[in-house]
Amino acid sequence: MLEQMSFETNKLAGLLPSELGQLPRLKILDVSINNLTGAIPSTFGNLSTLTILIIARNQISGEIPNELGRLHNLVMLQLSDNQLSGEIPFSIFNISSLEFLSLTQNRLVGKLPSNIGFTLPNIRELHLGRNSLEGPIPSSLSNASQIEYLDLSSNNFTGPIPLLGVIPKELQNLQVLQMLNLSFNSLEGEVPTNGVFANISWDSLQGNSGLCAFDHDAAEKLRVTTCVTKTKSNSDLVLKVTIPISAIIVLVCALCLVWALVTKNKRKIRNNGTSSSAVKGFPPRQSYSEIHHGTNGCAPENLLGKGAFGSVYKAVFSTGENSTLTTVAVKVLDLTQSKASKSFDAECEALRNIHHRNLVKVFTSCSSIDQTGAAFKALAMEFMSNSNLDKWLYPEEVECGSTLTLIQRLNIAIDVATALDFLHHDCDPPVVHCDLKPGNGLLDEDMTAHVGDFGLARFLSHDTSQNGGSTIGLRGSIGYIALEYGLGGKASTSGDVYSFGILLLEMIIAKKPTDSMLQEGLGLNKFISEVHKSKILDIADPRLFKDYESVTPSRSSTSSIGGESSSSSNNNIALRSEECVAAMVGVGLSCAAHSSKERFTMREALSKLQEIKRSSIGF
């Protein structure tokens, strides 16, 4: 008997066949992302074994059949991005097995049932945004103890305080609620201060002019007015006492705020970073359906690359009030890998409050279930149009003509060193990346490098006895892992410095540390260190000098065209290029020294590279 039918992401048109309701054993029906029209057949209510029903992103119209309420085994109902109208049948809210319900972007009207929190006890994600729903937000939602995502944005929830249109304070009691979006309604009254509201951002509440907060700082943060409490003073004495006291309190608060900001700035971004909320309109959390639609079902043509814990896809999301199309990179975790979930948690933790121009920005995340009911985790990150350093050092098409010049490689090395210097010396506590390699050096449209993939990152404690724990079993990348890690040494900034040294040397000779040309047991750093200083150019990547055809000694010495002046200029360029390469190799070897005590710090390495650049400008 047929149990699953999946026709998503095709070009199907026409009506949904009512005969589909005659499949008694059907468990999964997915016809999303097509051009289907007409109404949802009422016969679908006969699919008693159905657990997942997805009809999203079509042109389905009419009302939601009341008969769907008979699907008592349904776990996921996804009807978003259609043209459904009318009221949501109360029978839908009585499907107690539902964990995921999305009716976003339709033309639905009416009120939510007051007992919704009791009738949907297992609900984890409830997406009702961008409709025309009205009335109160039921306080019974506080009883939906499993709910993680609640989107009621862009509706008409309204009414006078205290009966209608108020944010129920009970919502702050939802312990696992991670994302709440109430924007663009007509809500009024005080914004609760606990639970999810303690960290809620202004964009989740924007478009509700009647909201306010009693705390002045909270009001500024949420961009709402300060609540006013009307009181009657009995005498001028009250004013004479309260006004000076209030002024003193405000002054003390202002001084505390200034002190906090100064302290934060000292230990935070030394170079002006950009917040992960730089792309306006991204919610703190993304739903599975949004990720699925943005990547076109993780289509192969959108695949950007694969890593140890998952795959990265190009995605297009509609963001902001004007539904601007924004291109991002989505890292989808392979949760069949034993450490993938820990990698996701580590990356979220590392990038939550760390922002720098040379670090890849993470805009939002998703922790949900997919269309089969399996766990699903993903990160939406800044899209890098020029891929990564690995692709440029080892292009698939050797004759494509695209390569990195010497000065470009020096700039990329400085960008990566700047990011690591920030992580090691300007973050509190310091952060160790633990997996630096060319594939994690991403390049934007201006060829500026950004360090990404913090799946193995560690925070260092000020108590050195607790730093990082043993690195036995630490999964870095072969050839880039510091030698002491193989002996069970603790994660340290010097381990990152070693990886950076290997990376810098690799950029010069364009040979991986695992290349077959390296003798067994002879590392990239040892191989280069044994090459005589005068022979450095012999092992350097010849593409380094693509734009300086005359830099090689043989060419500069044999060319007689252009006269003595041209020959002298060419010899000067060749000499300075060779000095630049030799100096970069020297920094790489000092970073990749066998003993961690002999290595540069990242700040020292950065300073050396910047000095090399100043000396090399003009060749």
Report the chain (619 residues): mean pLDDT per 10 consecutive residues: 85 92 91 93 93 93 94 93 93 92 93 89 90 86 83 74 46 66 81 73 78 82 77 56 79 80 54 42 72 89 85 84 79 82 74 83 83 84 92 74 83 96 91 91 94 84 52 65 80 92 92 70 63 69 66 40 54 76 91 91 95 77
Predicted TM-score of the model (pTM): 0.58
Residues 434 and 368 in one domain: no
Residues 470 and 372 in one domain: no
Active site residue 435: yes
Residues 312 and 342 in one domain: yes
Is 388 within 8 Å of 305 (Cβ atoms)? Answer: yes
Residues 307 and 399 in one domain: no
| Domain final position from 208, 226, 244 | 226
Residues 373 and 435 in one domain: no
Residue in 30, 151, 426, 435 annotated catalytic: 435
* Residue 264 located in a structural domain: no
Residues 365 and 482 in one domain: no
* Residue 275 located in a structural domain: no
Is 293 within 8 Å of 8 (Cβ atoms)? Answer: no
Residues near 457 by Cβ (< 8 Å), separated by ≥ 6?
346, 347, 349, 350, 431, 432, 433, 434
CATH number, residue 49: 3.80.10.10
Distance (Å, rounded) from C-alpha 42 to C-alpha 588? 69
Residues 427 and 341 in one domain: no
- Predicted local confidence at residue 86, as pLDDT: 94
- Predicted local confidence at residue 471, as pLDDT: 45
Is 68 within 8 Å of 91 (Cβ atoms)? Answer: yes
CA 242 to chain centre: 48
- Predicted local confidence at residue 531, as pLDDT: 61
CATH number, residue 299: 3.30.200.20
* Residue 394 located in a structural domain: yes
| Domain final position from 349, 367, 382 | 382
pLDDT digits (tens, 9 = 90+) for 431-445: 998 889 999 999 999
Q: Which residue has the tokens 């025309």?
A: 132
- Predicted local confidence at residue 76, as pLDDT: 92
- Predicted local confidence at residue 543, as pLDDT: 82
* Residue 263 located in a structural domain: no
Instruction: Please list the residues that pair with 102 across neighbouring strands.
Output: 78, 127
Amino acid occupying residue 168: P
Residues 377 and 394 in one domain: no
Is 23 within 8 Å of 44 (Cβ atoms)? Answer: no
Distance (Å, rounded) from C-alpha 590 to C-alpha 74? 61
* Residue 259 located in a structural domain: no
Q: For residue 126, what is the enclosing H or E element?
A: strand 125-127
Domain count, the chain: 3
- Predicted local confidence at residue 196, as pLDDT: 66
CA 545 to chain centre: 37
As given in the structure block, the two tokens for residue 562 are 């252009």
Is 463 within 8 Å of 430 (Cβ atoms)? Answer: no
Is 441 within 8 Å of 411 (Cβ atoms)? Answer: no
- Per-residue burial over 1-32, b if 16 or more Cβ lie within 10 Å, else e, is eeeeebebbeeeeeebeeebbebeebbbbbbb
Residues 404 and 366 in one domain: no
Is 36 within 8 Å of 296 (Cβ atoms)? Answer: no
* Residue 133 located in a structural domain: yes
Residues 465 and 568 in one domain: yes
Residues 415 and 561 in one domain: yes
As given in the structure block, the two tokens for residue 59 are 């042109």
- Predicted local confidence at residue 18, as pLDDT: 92
Distance (Å, rounded) from C-alpha 157 to C-alpha 186? 6
CATH number, residue 460: 1.10.510.10
Residues 370 and 480 in one domain: no
- Predicted local confidence at residue 271, as pLDDT: 39
331 annotated as a binding-site residue: yes
- Three-class DSSP category at 309: coil
Domain ranges, residue 54: 4-226
- Predicted local confidence at residue 425, as pLDDT: 92
* Residue 251 located in a structural domain: no
Distance (Å, rounded) from C-alpha 288 to C-alpha 298? 11
- Write the CA distances from 563 to 553, 570, 617, integer angstroms: 17, 11, 25
| Domain final position from 226, 254, 279 | 226
* Residue 231 located in a structural domain: no
